Chain A
């Protein structure tokens, strides 16, 4: 019963924020969060379903469950370029979650299901801030469900593939520079859609203690066909800005991950990951208003993201059968070019430092905790199409908790 309540809570708080580059989240297992977000070569629990389906068949237990939630506290300060203006991102809590279950059907064949939130962005700069004609607040989230099958050959090579079904919702508000007796014009866009992709991986276990993982998660096109665009404008210009359906397209970029981990001894494991994100797939954010007027049509917000490689490093140490500790670090370079830095996703090059802890009250069951501190670098940038320039300085504080049970 308690577990059910916990899961329900997860769904209630399903709101994400981007940490690091763009709008990819990266928090998919509290255990892995504790060690620099590595995971492509790990097979400790059902989180392999997401990190590398090829590793699922290497999970030792018949059943494995893992679920958790991260609390993202984003702190971003903005200083306008050549202006006496400074503001902060509003404080809000964003809560990506995950839930995984795997079942070993035969010695070599496993199946599993993953439900998590690999992409999302939630932020609010307030209704009256200087950049309100670009964005006031934004909530974008993608929840993915991934049924997965995995098979291993002679405990050396595992392969796996999962079909990814994604449900995405977007809700954004921005002001329009139209003054009237009732205040300022306003646009709300709200809608949701589903998209499909796949996740395929290989896990190689050449010698005892060494694991090599390669995983590819495909691009998912989130094409919201029938979002609602609601304009709050004076009656005099209503015919120019009718409420209408709007098509919004946003790609969820593909990822190619390479991971390597090695058990130095019974207690100590170290691992590295190289994650290549195909951010170039995000060229522009397109809004296609279905009712067209002289003031309303197809608008493309250029994004021009660049592909990026994220190196990650992590280690775990089993102090005793009941306590395991973890450490990690990674570098997440921003995919956003400096002349397209938009307050919708204020992204900078970031260094992540992580620590984690698992407590096993009894065999197979663990309470996992982790903390990720993400240091953004101070970054000057302009969103050129709107001539909006300034300095962004960010930090993220992310505690995470989770439960894992294998038997």
Chain B
């Protein structure tokens, strides 16, 4: 018996060895990642949860890409870091980041939702060092070629080397060998975020000229790179979280009185128990006095709509004080025609970028189809993580409904890496999506 035990134990000893699989061998292919720069807007700046804050920058999409490129000869990736985890007060009125927490609404109902944290933000200051991440919140394509843009956009002024120069003039100073660019989203998004009311979609000719100049400036440095096109921004949670028919009437008596009021006003709207379309402004309405109509499928209510007014003051149906029809103000709504304008412009801009990318042998990340996939029934599954465009639970979008979570950024970084590997024959490993967080619950 003792002998047997001895034999078994000695066998156990020699068997502790593991099976060997060779580790992932990263390779740069035909690219040179020595000095990598990122060019674009808030989507690459590390802006998230409605603020530019420290951790958001740490988990910015280009910073995650840079971490992987470093396995194949990539160098340091310097970002204009914010030290505060609440935000940076670039101008008066900037609020600290959003967190998920409990709030009490006007009806006294406790609910879970995004709310502003309180904490000390960094004051505005120029960081004083050269950066690799030229991600500028708010930047449209033509902003990058505008002299003196630093005087208009304090996010850029935080790291601009000149108050009078243009962003495109900075690229040469850092001698980039490789770039990623995600620009152009704000050329439609700014208009959409304003509910189509006080911003405008960039003129396609201006867009073409600006993109050509920005890409030209990048290529003139000798760098190679990839660029992303513009997704259908109307599928992001900022526009999809509140449905067009999110007006819920629970009691028949309430439905009856609403229908009675509408008939008194000679408005042809009929309400039922359950979900009903919100009322919005309509200047083309034939009605002599009430220029309103009900929303239709394919129209969007913005996440910034004053929800207490909707819940307690009758916005979107009938004003509880005056009993008059109470449409949602235009800046909180994207109507069918505004959506059509956004889609048309997105298609034109994407066609411009597509041609430009193939003409200059720049890899193209088809963010448009990736967001379509994320917005589909099955979403995108990566290493057991199921991601989609749902607000909070979808895992990809941060609490502002526009920018990505760290996990969303990891996924986006992988879209770039996929194209980098295809375009340059490199072997850059994907970012481990499971290591990064989605929306954090309290």
Interface residue ranges, A against B (CB under 8 Å): 71, 73, 75-77, 79-80, 82-86, 88, 91, 130-134, 177-181, 234-237, 367, 369, 371, 376, 378, 385-388, 391, 393-395, 397, 399, 401
Interface segment, one of B15-23, B149-157, B208-216: B15-23
Q: Which of B15, B16, B112, B385 has the most CB of A within 10 A?
A: B15
The interface residues of chain B lying within 8 Å CB-to-CB of A235 are 442
Task: Report yes or no: A83 in contact with B20, Cβ–Cβ below 8 A.
Answer: no
Q: Which of A85, A378, A399 contacts B432 (CB 8 A)?
A: A85
Add 4 more A-B contacts to A71-B12, A84-B429, A134-B384 (CB < 8 A).
Answer: A77-B18, A133-B434, A180-B441, A399-B7
Interface of A is mostly: strand
Contact with A along B21-33 (1 / 0, CB 8 A): 1111010000000
Residue contact B441 to A388, C-beta cutoff 8 Å: no
Q: Give the residues from 99 to 149 in chain B that come closer than 8 angstroms, CB to CB, to chain A.
A: 100, 112
Contact A130 B432 (CB under 8 A): yes
Determine whether the beta carbon of B8 is less than 8 Å from that of A179: no
User: For A82, what are the chain B residues with a Cβ–Cβ distance below 8 Å?
Assistant: 24, 429-430
B287, CB-defined interface residue at 8 Å = no
Q: B33 → chain A, closest Cβ, in Å?
A: 15
B80 within 8 Å of A by Cβ? Answer: no
**Known contacts being A91-B16, A371-B11, A401-B4, is A177 close to B432, with CB within 8 Å?**
no
> Which residues of chain A are near B439, meaning CB under 8 Å?
179
User: Is B386 an interface position by the 8 A CB rule?
Assistant: yes
Contact with A along B427-441 (1 / 0, CB 8 A): 001101010011111
Residues in B with CB closer than 8 Å to A236 are 100, 112, 441-442
B62 interface hit (Cβ, 8 Å):
no
Instruction: Establish whether residues A177 and B385, one from each chain, have CB atoms under 8 Å apart when the complex forms.
Output: yes
With a cutoff of 8 Å between Cβ atoms, the chain B residues found around residue A397 in the complex are 11-12, 15
B382 within 8 A of A: yes
Task: Please indicate the chain B residues that have their CB under 8 angstroms from the CB of A386 in the complex.
Answer: 381, 383-384
Q: Name the CB-closest residue of A to B1.
A: A367
Question: Which residues from chain B contact A77 at a C-beta distance below 8 Å?
Answer: 18-21
Contact of B386 among A73, A177, A367 (CB under 8 A): A177
Q: Are B17 and A75 in contact (CB under 8 A)?
A: yes
**Residue of A at shortest CB range from B14?**
A397
Q: B71 at the A/B interface (Cβ < 8 Å)?
A: yes
Q: Does B395 contact A (CB under 8 A)?
A: yes
B24 A79 Cβ-Cβ under 8 A: yes
Query: Which residues of the partner chain B approach A385 to less than 8 Å between Cβ atoms?
Result: 381
Measured CB to CB, the closest approach of chain B to A17, in angstroms, equals 14
Task: Report 20 cross-chain contacts, Cβ distance below 8 Å, ordered by A residue.
Answer: A71-B12, A73-B12, A73-B15, A75-B18, A77-B21, A82-B429, A84-B26, A88-B18, A91-B16, A131-B384, A133-B384, A133-B434, A177-B384, A178-B441, A179-B437, A179-B441, A180-B440, A236-B100, A397-B12, A401-B8
CB distance from A55 to the nearest CB of B (A): 27
A75 touches B15 (CB 8 A): yes
Chain B hits for A388, CB < 8 A? 383-384
Closest 9 CB pairs of A and B: A133-B384, A397-B15, A234-B441, A84-B429, A180-B441, A393-B19, A387-B381, A386-B384, A179-B437
Q: Least Cβ distance of A107 to chain B in Å?
A: 36
Across the interface, do B1 and A179 meet the contact criterion of CB distance under 8 Å?
Answer: no
Q: Which residues of B contact A177 (CB under 8 A)?
A: 384-386, 395, 407, 434, 438
- State which of A71, A85, A132, A237 has its C-beta within 8 Å of the C-beta of B441: A237
- A181 is contacted by which of B18, B381, B385, B440 (Cβ under 8 Å)? B440
A130 partner, pick from B19, B26, B383, beta carbons under 8 A: B383
Tell me if A76 and B19 are in contact (CB < 8 A): yes
On whether A181 and B442 interact (CB within 8 A), knowing A83-B430, A369-B7, A391-B21, the answer reads yes
The distance from the CB of A170 to the nearest CB of chain B, in whole angstroms, is 20
Q: A393 is contacted by which of B21, B381, B437 (Cβ under 8 Å)? A: B21
Contact call B381/A83, Cβ cutoff below 8 A: no
State in angstroms the CA–CA spacing of A79 and B71 once bound together: 17
Inter-chain contacts of B71 with A (CB < 8 A): 84
Which residues of A lie under 8 Å from residue B8 when comparing CB positions? 71, 399, 401
Q: Are A79 and B23 in contact (CB under 8 A)?
A: yes
Beta-carbon contact of B21 and A378 below 8 Å: yes
A233 — nearest CB in chain B belongs to which residue? B441
In this complex, which of A73, A83, A395 has the most chain B Cβ atoms within 10 angstroms of its Cβ? A83
Of residues 56 through 112 on chain B, the ones whose CB sits less than 8 Å from some CB of chain A are 68, 71, 100, 112
Which of B19, B22, B381 sits near A394, CB closer than 8 Å? B19
Q: Tell me which residues across on chain A come within 8 A of B15, comparing CB atoms.
A: 73, 75, 397
Q: Taking the nearest CB of chain A, how far is it from the CB of B410, in angstroms?
A: 11
Given A236-B112, A397-B11, A86-B440 contact (CB < 8 Å): no
Bound-complex Cα distance A82 to B21 (A) = 13
Give the CA-CA distance A177 to B382 in the complex, in Å. 12
Shortest Cβ distance from residue A180 to the other chain B in the assembled complex, whole angstroms: 4
Q: How far is the CA of A76 from the CA of B18 in the complex (A)?
A: 7
Report A83 CB to chain B, min CB distance, Å.
Answer: 5
Residue in chain B with minimal CB distance to A181: B442
User: How far, in whole Å, are A27 and B11 apart by their CA atoms in the complex?
Assistant: 18
Q: Are B384 and A179 in contact (CB under 8 A)?
A: no
> For residue B1, which residues in chain A have a CB less than 8 angstroms away from its CB?
367
Tell me the residues in window 379-393 of chain B with beta carbons closer than 8 Å to chain A beta carbons.
381-386
A73 and B18 alpha carbons, distance in the complex (Å): 11
> In the complex the two chains form, what is the Cα distance from A52 to B101 in whole Å?
64
Complex CA–CA separation, A401 to B8 (angstroms): 9
Contact of A181 with B21 at beta-carbon distance under 8 Å, contacts A83-B429, A84-B429, A369-B4 already known: no
> For chain B residues 202-240, which have a beta carbon within 8 Å of chain A?
none
CB pair B384 A86 closer than 8 Å: no
